[in-house]
Amino acid sequence: MKKTNLTIKYMLMTASIVLIVTVINVVCVFLLLMQSNLNHALVEVLIAIPILEGIVIIYFGAKFSRKVTEPMKEVIRGVESLEDENYELLDEEGIYRDVKVKLNMLASKLKQNEIERKKTEEMRNEWISNITHDIKTPLSSIKGYAELLESYSDFTEDEIKQYGAVINEKSEYIKSLVDDLNLTIYLKDENRKLCMQKANLVTEIRNSIISILNDPIYSGREIVFESNQAVIEEEFDRKLLKRLINNIIYNALVHNSDEVKVSVEVLKMDRTHIIVKDNGRGMTEKDLENIFDKYYRGTNTSASHKGSGLGMAIVYNIVKAHGWDIGIESEIGKGTRIEIAIEKLH
């Protein structure tokens, strides 16, 4: 109904203009007759001219209105489709070609955003379900051992230490989940400020690896470190760099067998490169596409590993917060290679 009214509106506007022009012409003729003694034939001609002019203008005005409004109706339909979340593309022809091209670009962008939103929503819902389960399990253990200690007093010292260790372990696990959430929110904040310092990148990464190997759980694992220079000074947030390196290495250790070999290289070339490789089981194409997405847990994640699903998303966000680049390659049965290229700050 709105589209029909629009066509009528344009036609009425055109007809109104034509009518005004015709009236003016008639008035002019009338004034001319008042001033001159013209013969009858000339009078008829003078009267006929504005009438014919009016008919011609009305005819072409109506045709022009249809030519203008018909394509406009298609554009309006396109806008209404976007409002209804229907992202069909318009035929990019006609007098409104440029408008249609822009609308199609907008439709494509909105469609892609909708796909990404649904994908993120699905992963977030799955992540909430997993995280809820992961928190419930240690909370149940903490509650159970706390009630046990509260109800009975005849425990040996060794038993009390054992129960206390379990409570502490479960508490640390919950704390790590909350820390991951807080760090993710911090990195998403556009107003955040990194604590940038100039330091030796080689020393910082070596110390991170030593800390991992000093953990009794990973003390027997093979992690090799190499650098083509003893001192490579760069500007970075030291705390976030440690988190970045730890997340990448732990990801390689957790998702592979105990025999996996992890190598870390720091190379000074045109830019400084950090390369972390492993000879593990590798990743599927799906895992590779989603590895840096929040809430994503890869298909290689074992049931015994209860991570937050934010580890590699945090890596990606730390890299981007520094203005660096990151790339990843992986092949099933051969392993994974992650490379970070550090961009100099000016």
CATH of the domain at 284: 3.30.565.10
pLDDT at 197: 93
Does residue 94 sit within a domain?
Answer: no
pLDDT, residue 285, reads: 87
How many domains in the chain? 3
- Same domain for 182 and 201, yes or no, is no
168 in a structural domain: yes
Helix/strand/coil (H/E/C) assignment for every residue in 251-282: HHHHCCCCCCEEEEEEEECCCEEEEEEECCCC
**Between residues 35 and 267, the one the model is more confident about:** 267
Determine contact, residues 180/155, Cβ cutoff 8 Å: no
Phi, psi of 338 (to 5 degrees): -115, 130
Percent of the chain with pLDDT over 90: 30
Give domain status of residue 265, yes or no: yes
Cβ neighbours of 135 (radius 10 Å): 16
Percent of the chain with pLDDT over 70: 68
**19 and 124 co-located in one domain:** no
In a domain, 111, yes or no: no
pLDDT at 195 over 70: yes
Q: Is residue 107 part of a domain?
A: no
pLDDT tens per residue across span 290-331: 888 755 555 454 444 455 667 888 999 999 999 999 999 999
Give the residue with greater pLDDT, 341 vs 7: 341
Q: End of a domain among 137, 163, 188? A: 188
CA 181 – CA 189 distance, rounded (Å): 13
Q: For residues 61 and 206, what is the distance between their CA atoms, to the nearest angstrom?
A: 80
Is position 110 within any domain? no
What's the pLDDT score for residue 46?
Answer: 57
Same domain? 201 vs 174: no
- The whole-number pLDDT of residue 181 equals 77
Please indicate, yes or no, if residue 245 is contained in any of the structural domains.
yes
Same domain, 212 and 290: yes
Q: Are 325 and 260 found together in one domain? A: yes
Please, which pLDDT band fits residue 282 given cuts at 50, 70 and 90?
Answer: very high
Q: What is the CATH number of the domain that holds 160?
A: 1.10.287.130
Mean predicted confidence (pLDDT) in 198-227: 93
Q: How far apart are CA 82 and CA 114, in angstroms?
A: 12
pLDDT confidence of residue 308: 62
For position 115, what pLDDT does the model report? 83
Q: Does the pLDDT of residue 5 top 80, yes or no?
A: no
Of residues 91 and 20, which shows the higher confidence score? 91
Same domain, 27 and 127: no
In a domain, 96, yes or no: no
100-104, 125-129, 165-169, 224-228: segment of lowest average pLDDT: 125-129
| pLDDT, tens only, 133-187 | 777 778 888 888 888 888 877 888 888 888 888 888 888 888 887 788 778 778 8
125 or 287, greater pLDDT: 287
Q: Do 206 and 279 fall within a single domain?
A: yes
**Rounded CA Rg of the chain:** 37
Residues 184 and 200 in one domain: no
Structural domain harbouring 277:
196-342
Q: Which has more pLDDT, 70 or 310?
A: 310
